[in-house]
Amino acid sequence: VLPSPLLGRVQVGLEDLLLVPTSGREGQLVALRAPGWTPAFTVRADTSLRTRPVVRGPLVFVLGLDGRVLAWRLRVPPPT
């Protein structure tokens, strides 16, 4: 279950992660770990997310509703 509706397309991210942008009032980028697609972590923005994430090495970029390009440097936590 996602915290808010899926924005559109997802992106394969670092290692075995699927990055899922959501379109709630506060944008959230949810990382799901394969196999089983269990939640690995979530990052939040202060604006809704509007685009599919773009992954460049450890950096992930997403366009926010307010026109800013948001970026996060991801460090993948070990599986629990």
pLDDT one-digit tens code per residue, 14-38: 778 888 888 777 888 888 888 888 8
Q: Are 45 and 64 a contacting pair, CB within 8 Å? A: yes
pTM: 0.78
72 closest CA partner among 29, 37, 34: 29
Strand 17-21 and strand 11-12: the pairing is: antiparallel
pLDDT exceeds 70 at position 13: yes
